[in-house]
């Protein structure tokens, strides 16, 4: 679709009066009859982070530094 590439993403102003795009966030609860927001634990997203106690930060920094140096060398060659 060539036309779609020209206009980009569909925005709320481009859609009809019933088009509501939202912001891409999940609804984690409901509004009660007393106008209070109630969080439903079944809808809450749980993030499981990996254990970073044995992670060597210096090793990661060295890798990032070497990549940065390689990029700088490429830019200097141009």
For the segment 26-48, what is each residue's pLDDT rounded down to a tens digit? 889 999 999 999 999 999 989 99
pLDDT band (50, 70, 90) for residue 19: confident
Cβ contact 39:29 at 8 Å:
yes
Secondary structure of 26-78 as H, E, C letters: CCCEEECCCCCEEECCCCCCCCCCCCCCCCCHHHHHHHHHHHHHHHHHHHHHC
For the segment 61-77, what is each residue's pLDDT rounded down to a tens digit? 888 999 999 999 999 98
CA distance 12 to 20: 6
Sequence-distant (≥ 6) Cβ neighbours of residue 27 within 8 angstroms: 43
Q: What is the pLDDT at residue 72?
A: 93
Sequence-distant (≥ 6) Cβ neighbours of residue 16 within 8 angstroms: none
Model-level pTM? 0.38
């Amino acid at each position: 679709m060539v036309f779609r590439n020209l206009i980009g993403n569909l925005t709320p102003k481009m859609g009809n009066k019933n088009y509501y795009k939202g912001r891409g966030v999940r609804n984690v609860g409901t509004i009660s009859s007393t106008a209070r927001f109630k969080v439903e634990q079944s809808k809450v997203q749980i993030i499981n982070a990996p254990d970073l106690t044995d992670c060597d930060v210096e090793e990661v920094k060295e890798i990032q530094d070497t990549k940065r140096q390689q990029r700088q060398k490429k830019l200097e060659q141009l």
